[in-house]
Structure 1
């Protein structure tokens, strides 16, 4: 296994190495990006139905001279904060808060910047009782038709529907050592082989790295990280992300809303294409 605190030749990294880098506890989180890239950030709380979920943060800010709505998953930098933020695993009210902020952005024509970093949505009994699956589905539905530009950036883990609920953007960017997958490698290994220890094998099969997903045309760009990973030079990683977000934001903001929504629809309709070859049986 790779030594995470030393530089490593990118081409030598395995998918499991990328998973470890994406999960590194010193990797910068959403609020690190917000405070470094934005000015005048005002955090907004609550879903107006149940409560406030600290695993998703969001609010108004100024980015590159433009008013934006920023939101994303928030992990903790220590054990106490991780407990308060549920290790970045949102509750239903977190996703409903995100939807409320998106609707607010739409009302005033404000672009939305999403930062994705979660192992997945909270799976406990109480979350399911409060409509976790419905909250995720509503989030996806809201983003598909939201009449304002959306840029989603995967900055760490992008796990399952918990990530998808805030990542249906006009552009999806991924940092070089982030991951984006239908399930965690451990969960996939438990399902496929009934052995979570085979997570490294599952990480190869899942095609969860930024390099795989760019090749599959699911994401739009890979953002280069400092040598060794974002955890070794957080400021450089944040600056690199900010530069690329700014470029894509200018591009999508230049489109009229009808064109924007048409291109967004076409983008997601094209994902999952396949070719089918008909086998012809020759009879002698």
Structure 2
């Protein structure tokens, strides 16, 4: 092993992971605002452990002075999606970005591995601005469904435990589990519109509830204490009239929200000193 300062060597990779995580999380937030649905469920990232770098370098016969070019996944990003269809969409967004260069792709969804592993990989070059200037860093972006990620995480742990030599019975059970995960993804895709509609309804209802409570609290700021207490009582009645697990009366909740908004608007209109 060479005598390099590993902490210094890994700094650009750590910066790459943190910056890409922020950018993809921002992409998710923007898409959600624009389209009310984001194909990205969540984003994680990691820098490969030194022991894993050394093991991979040995396995691939990568010289120690060529680690930066020979090992492409020292910086790793994982993007999780709800549906298989979302993976292609996210990959296309990444291809269009101007702040990184896609070098090549590996489609392990269409051409899944014998083990059952499924994922879509993109090897990218990302320019990191270091204290000494710009440095191009290789990173691997893995795009998966939640089911694919669950399977891959378990399989990775087992491979570590058995040092890459999985017992035959475990290998076959993992293959069976991979097929089951694929069936699950396909079933979820078949009812995709129903799932998205239900998720949007839940989010809309949650936003209404949050807005009602926030505006009732705002009434205290305007010294409308009696009105605030009356609206809070109505909110409590609406919320408590349903059994746990049953849907709340959101029509009444929306009506309550409209009335609170109207009262606040009227107060602002009649109070010239209010600048809110």
**What TM-score bracket applies, with the shorter chain setting the length?**
under 0.3
Larger helix percent: 2
Normalised by the length of structure 1, the TM-score is 0.25
Normalised by the length of structure 2, the TM-score is 0.25
Q: Which has the higher contact order (CA 8 A, sep 6+)?
A: 1
Bigger CA radius of gyration: 2
